[in-house]
Amino acid sequence: MGFADRFVRSLNSYDLRDDAHHHALDAIAAAALAGDLGSLLARVKYADGTVNRLFEGNHQNLAQLLRLWTNAVIKKGRQRRWVKENTAWDAQAAQSLYRRVAERSLAYWLDGKCPTCHGTGQDGHRACAACKGNGKAEVQGGGFERERVLDMVSELEVIVQSHHARANALLRKRPAN
């Protein structure tokens, strides 16, 4: 069972006692202690809405995540010199690009399922023609921006996977009561 499954199961638990026999709170504590942006990513993607079965999720977490992710993309875009920012017009165009890349990459990472087959890869009894059977939607847009979006999607995946690894390590180190 992966960390995301443990985390969601902890959130759905009705018994959050923390003693020698009850460990439902462990995954929540490990996620909090692992900290950073990965914790918020995991919360928004895997947990928000699951407790109350609301598909809208927690809009405050999503808004905070979008704000933090946009700042991170701006920083990465400047470090990697995606575009020159020599004039005021260039700087304004760069900011617009960074924001579009941040919004599109986060949206794709949160739900990048093919709209035709809903992520199953099957359309009836055949492989879905829209996604070629892989269940993932195609990232729309031009080549330059599309490549930046895919790059940032992979960054998001790295962040959340490293967070899960840190949280799992904390779960393994849990002292016996």
In this structure, what are the phi and psi dihedrals at residue 62, rounded to the nearest 5 degrees?
-65, -40
- The whole-number pLDDT of residue 54 equals 45
Where in the sequence is the domain holding 47, given as residue range(s)?
3-172
- Residue keyed to tokens 């599309």: 146
In a domain, 127, yes or no: yes
In a domain, 102, yes or no: yes
Euclidean distance between CA atoms 105 and 150, whole angstroms: 7
In a domain, 161, yes or no: yes
9-10-13 Cα angle (round to 5): 85
How many folded domains does the chain comprise? 1
In a domain, 13, yes or no: yes
pTM: 0.76
Comparing C-alpha atoms, which of 94, 65, 90 is closest to residue 77?
94
Euclidean distance between CA atoms 95 and 83, whole angstroms: 10
What the block records as the tokens of 110 is: 């949160």
Angle between helices 59-79 and 143-172 (to 10 degrees): 120
In a domain, 177, yes or no: no
Of how many residues is the chain composed? 177
Per-residue pLDDT of the chain (177 residues; tens, 9 = 90+): 566 666 666 666 666 555 555 556 666 666 666 667 887 887 788 776 544 444 445 678 888 889 999 999 999 999 999 998 889 999 999 999 999 999 999 999 988 888 888 888 888 888 988 888 888 888 887 899 999 999 999 999 999 888 888 877 877 776 554
